[in-house]
């Protein structure tokens, strides 16, 4: 908040457009934030594209691939073309933002959507990806897109195994890292993925800012997605040429103060230390899972162990609607998310239409977890069910 206010009151100029001092200072701040965010995930500055969130970033990739499939982007993009008979693989655990764009890409290109399944309800590893279903990948698979961490179950995906299987068939790997980047150290190049996305508001930054990371060569090959000012090279009445990435994907007036705010958030996370944050959150997650296991009529939607798991803990209270659960907890000063969390297919695995979800961050304490557990233990009694 302080970083945004300082920027807006002292350096609020047009990025890459003006020749005056404010514009130069604004551009420097904008690009300095890009450098910080790139380094935070192990990337280079020219590998990060600013977006308004992860949803936009995933749509950017999907629509760029659609444009490549339509013959746009020249020879460099032709290797990215997708058509009838090709396959796109996702998982049943995906947020809709990493499912619906691929459904739409299949509809536009004639490709077939396939998916990795999850382990069934009733086991300690319930909701984790079922590695026995890796065989859905074939030599026709062109894209494999999956979440690093499920926003419902909190389960960490076995990235190395999935990437190895995808690379064995020559597929492009897209990682939704929304729920991993804020909670433990992440290095995208080391993971072996080709594309990754994440959002600022989940990592103590502002809303309205997200990032797409991709290998520089891939960004250069992808056709443009959104067109307009600031991303063009030469424009005539007949045709247009475009700047190199990442500029070619940043049309129009950009979210400059938000980028600066995200850069400040990264500074803070680095100062605290991602390893420290991870250890802190694991301890609180263990406390929460242990406490929930002692409350009758409450079941966890996802793994019941903290191993390879983050502190997004979804749960169902028997005979009580999730919205009612949320209201009772709110009356006790405890805020949880309710609904299907933009992930309907995985809720179907748990035989429920929706759930409530408590989420742990670096600012939470044992007292917070205990307050949540105390409030949760009284929900069924409040509604007179047992």
Nearest in space to 128 (alpha carbons), one of 300, 302, 343, 279: 302
Q: Count the neighbouring beta carbons within 10 Å of the beta carbon of residue 87.
A: 21
342, 361, 371, 377: which one is catalytic? 342
Residue pair 376/298 in contact (Cβ under 8 Å)? The answer is yes
Mean pLDDT of 21-34: 95
Quote the percentage of the chain above a pLDDT of 90.
97
- Indicate if 135 and 55 belong to the same structural domain: yes
Per-residue tokens: 360: 């742990």
- CATH at residue 301: 3.90.1150.10
Decide: helix, strand or coil at residue 87: strand
- Indicate if 236 and 321 belong to the same structural domain: no
- Indicate if 193 and 243 belong to the same structural domain: yes
Q: Give the whole-angstrom CA distance, residue 211 versus residue 46.
A: 12
Q: Give the whole-angstrom CA distance, residue 65 versus residue 68.
A: 5
Which residues form the domain of 305? Answer: 274-382
Give 374's Cβ-side CA count (13 Å radius).
Answer: 10
Task: Kindly report the pTM of this predicted structure.
Answer: 0.97
- Indicate if 29 and 137 belong to the same structural domain: yes
Side by side, the strands of the sheet bearing 195-199 are 48-51, 210-214, 195-199, 172-176, 141-147, 87-91, 112-116
The three-point CA angle 375-202-287 to 5° equals 35
Q: Count the neighbouring beta carbons within 10 Å of the beta carbon of residue 352.
A: 15
- Indicate if 74 and 170 belong to the same structural domain: yes
Q: What local confidence, expressed as pLDDT, does residue 18 receive?
A: 78
Per-residue tokens: 199: 């959002």
Q: What local confidence, expressed as pLDDT, does residue 41 receive?
A: 98
- Indicate if 64 and 185 belong to the same structural domain: yes
Neighbouring-strand partners of residue 49: 212
- Indicate if 300 and 152 belong to the same structural domain: no
Categorize the per-residue pLDDT at 189 as very low, low, confident or very high, splitting at 50, 70 and 90: very high
Categorize the per-residue pLDDT at 88 as very low, low, confident or very high, splitting at 50, 70 and 90: very high
With a cut of 90, say whether residue 348 has pLDDT above it: yes
Residue pair 249/60 in contact (Cβ under 8 Å)? The answer is yes
- Indicate if 241 and 288 belong to the same structural domain: no
pLDDT averaged over every residue in the chain: 97
- Whether residue 22 has a cis bond before it, omega within 30° of 0: no
Q: Which residue has the tokens 């996305």?
A: 197
CA–CA distances in Å: residue 312 to residues 50, 188, 265, 266, 309? 26, 22, 20, 21, 8
Categorize the per-residue pLDDT at 221 as very low, low, confident or very high, splitting at 50, 70 and 90: very high
With a cut of 90, say whether residue 118 has pLDDT above it: yes
- Indicate if 99 and 200 belong to the same structural domain: yes
With a cut of 80, say whether residue 96 has pLDDT above it: yes
- Indicate if 172 and 51 belong to the same structural domain: yes
Give the tens place of pLDDT for each residue, 279-323: 999 999 999 999 999 999 999 999 999 999 999 999 999 999 999
Label residue 74 left, alpha or beta by phi (over 0 means left) and psi (-120 to 50 means alpha): left
Categorize the per-residue pLDDT at 17 as very low, low, confident or very high, splitting at 50, 70 and 90: confident
- CATH at residue 131: 3.40.640.10
Domain boundary among 220, 246, 272: 272
Domain tally for the chain? 2
Domain boundary among 272, 301, 331: 272
- Indicate if 322 and 361 belong to the same structural domain: yes
- To the query of whether residue 342 is one of the catalytic residues in this protein, the response is yes
With a cut of 90, say whether residue 16 has pLDDT above it: no
- Indicate if 162 and 237 belong to the same structural domain: yes
With a cut of 90, say whether residue 386 has pLDDT above it: no
Give the tens place of pLDDT for each residue, 39-82: 999 999 999 999 999 999 999 999 999 999 999 999 999 999 99
**Rounded to an integer, what is the distance from CA 138 to the centroid of its chain?**
26
Phi/psi at 175 (5° precision): -115, 125
Domain boundary among 223, 244, 272: 272
């Amino acid at each position: 908040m302080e970083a945004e206010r300082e920027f807006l009151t002292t350096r609020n100029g047009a990025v890459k457009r003006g020749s005056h001092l404010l514009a130069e200072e604004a551009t420097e701040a904008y690009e300095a934030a890009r450098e910080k965010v790139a380094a935070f995930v192990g990337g280079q500055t020219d590998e990060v594209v600013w977006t308004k969130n992860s949803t936009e970033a995933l749509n950017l990739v999907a629509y760029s691939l659609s444009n490549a499939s339509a013959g746009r982007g020249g020879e460099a993009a032709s290797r990215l073309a997708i058509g009838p008979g090709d396959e796109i693989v996702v998982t049943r655990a995906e947020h809709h933002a990493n499912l619906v764009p691929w459904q739409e890409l299949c509809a536009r290109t004639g490709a077939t959507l396939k998916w990795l399944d999850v382990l069934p309800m009733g086991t300690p590893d319930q909701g984790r990806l079922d590695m026995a279903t890796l065989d859905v990948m074939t030599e026709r698979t062109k894209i494999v897109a999956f979440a690093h961490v499920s926003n419902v179950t909190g389960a960490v995906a076995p990235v190395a195994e999935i990437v190895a299987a995808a690379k064995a068939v020559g597929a492009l790997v897209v990682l939704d890292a929304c729920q991993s980047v804020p909670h433990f150290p992440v290095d995208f190049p080391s993971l072996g993925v080709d594309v990754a996305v994440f959002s600022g508001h989940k990592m103590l930054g502002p809303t309205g800012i997200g990032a797409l990371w991709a290998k520089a060569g891939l960004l250069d090959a992808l056709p443009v997605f959104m067109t307009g000012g600031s991303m063009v090279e030469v424009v005539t009445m007949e045709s247009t040429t475009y700047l190199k990435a990442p500029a070619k994907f940043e049309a129009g007036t950009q979210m400059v103060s938000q980028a600066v705010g995200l850069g400040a958030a990264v500074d803070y996370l680095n100062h605290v230390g991602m390893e420290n944050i991870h250890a802190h959150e694991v301890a609180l997650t263990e406390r929460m899972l242990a406490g929930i296991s002692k409350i009758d009529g409450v079941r966890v939607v996802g793994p019941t162990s903290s191993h390879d798991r983050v502190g997004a803990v979804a749960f169902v209270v028997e005979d009580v609607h999730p919205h009612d659960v949320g209201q009772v907890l709110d009356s006790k000063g405890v805020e949880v998310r309710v609904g299907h969390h933009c992930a309907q297919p995985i809720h179907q695995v748990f035989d429920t239409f929706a759930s409530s979800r408590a989420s742990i961050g670096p600012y939470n304490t044992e007292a917070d977890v205990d307050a949540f557990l105390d409030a949760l233990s009284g929900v069924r009694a409040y509604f007179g069910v047992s």
